[in-house]
Amino acid sequence: MQLDSLIAGFSTRGGGAGARVTGCAIDHRKVAPGTIFGAFRGLARNGEEFIPAAVAAGAIAVVARPEAAVPEHVVHIADAEPRRAFARIAARFFAPFPATTVAVTGTNGKTSTVELTRQLWRMAGHAAASIGTLGVTTTDGEGKISQVSTGLTTPDIVTFLANMAGLAREGVSHAAFEASSHGLAQFRTEGLPVRAAAFTNLSRDHLDYHGTMEAYLEAKLRLFSEVVDADGAAVVWADDPASTRVEELVRERGARLLSVGTRGDALRLIERVPTQLGQTLTIAVDGREHRCTLPLIGAYQAANALVAAGLAMATGVPAADVLAGLGRLQPVRGRLERAVITARGAPVYVDYAHTPDGLRAAIAALRPHVSGRLILVFGAGGDRDTGKRPEMGAIAAEQADIAIVTDDNPRSEPPAAIRAAILAAAPGATEIGDRRAAIAEAVGQAGAGDIVLVAGKGHETGQIVGDRVLAFDDVQVAREVAA
């Protein structure tokens, strides 16, 4: 592929645009002869410092700010927003992509929503995939699920576009991906056509990066103001306070709006009745009421399923097929996943809830199923928003019958300091730093009628302590200590 065809329409200087492009990279260590290199200023490092190394390794073009120092014999694609420019150029290089792509943003529920969307598409006969916190998820012709990790909720732009292009080559026609606030702010979801976008909810998270809730919301709103196709669709969970702002933006953009929830127009939730292993939903569509059995526990899982249903409908799946598919949905890894039932009859659930709102929702989801006590094991991650720690402690103290505060992913922070910040708002909680011991204590206390909730890490299979990642899987540990 020729460089001049990839950079058409961009401001350039220096070098020769007729060279052949062999790849794209944002890591100078991955540059090979013929590569287009993206040099961006970050929080920790300035990628412009690595331009000489990238050029020495064979980069034929550099995407960077106009004031960046780029050798004259190399093409400099000069742009005030080099991340966005690089993404759009890289998309030209990696295309084609799956014909139908959708994106989901929000504080909680992104992972479940993209995976449930994938499942609904597959039931409708489409070759489908999801990309996000769980990695790249696909299903083969025999129904076997495959997951390949990408390392981040929204991977770097090169990995993201390469994965999307790879899915298209494998015959995937429909792909749903998570659009995190970091990914949107850093233009890691640009370039490919997005036919529909969805908003789940907004609550406190990532303020260590965004600073304020307003800035956090603004980052997410880019999905609707810039990323989704102007003639595409937006699915909005109408019951969240931030939904009004999202809906106004969608209308300004001219995209088709499908609101869902108890205040929704496209899918209105009339009634939700918990059952032993799920819930029964009464949903109004086009003025007619339908009753569906959803095999997932909790109000927030009903919300995720309805947003996924909206995305399926927005991309052409008939409403009747979507409603029938809700009854066949499978639980998502680490999202209120029942790990084990103890010998004394107490189920142990594992959930990714790592924010105040997520923790509150997970407890609320399980509470209708508790006849005894709800025993909670949780912590908070290090090197992240510190303000949410006492909020989570207060929620645990108020809503759990027994709370055990333990370590999550302390990273570079002293674990005891993180626990202390939580315990300051949960004086009645028990402190057990060792996560395995904490889970074992909860399981040991649980009897008939009790439910144990292990929150914070969900699907993760490692615990980050300092600069090490120690093997740790909440589901596996729960099974081991319950044996």
**Residue 108 known to bind ligand:** yes
**Residue 344 known to bind ligand:** no
**Residue 35 known to bind ligand:** no
**Residue 107 known to bind ligand:** yes
**Residue 430 known to bind ligand:** no
**Residue 135 known to bind ligand:** no
Q: Which two tokens stand for residue 163?
A: 């994965």
**Residue 315 known to bind ligand:** no
**Residue 46 known to bind ligand:** no
**Residue 29 known to bind ligand:** no
**Residue 408 known to bind ligand:** yes
**Residue 154 known to bind ligand:** yes
**Residue 384 known to bind ligand:** yes
**Residue 183 known to bind ligand:** no
**Residue 163 known to bind ligand:** no
**Residue 188 known to bind ligand:** yes
**Residue 460 known to bind ligand:** yes
**Residue 109 known to bind ligand:** yes
Binding-site residue set for ATP:
106-112
Binding-site residue set:
106-112, 153-154, 180, 186, 188, 384, 408-411, 456, 460
Binding-site residue set for meso-2,6-diaminopimelate:
384, 408-411, 456, 460
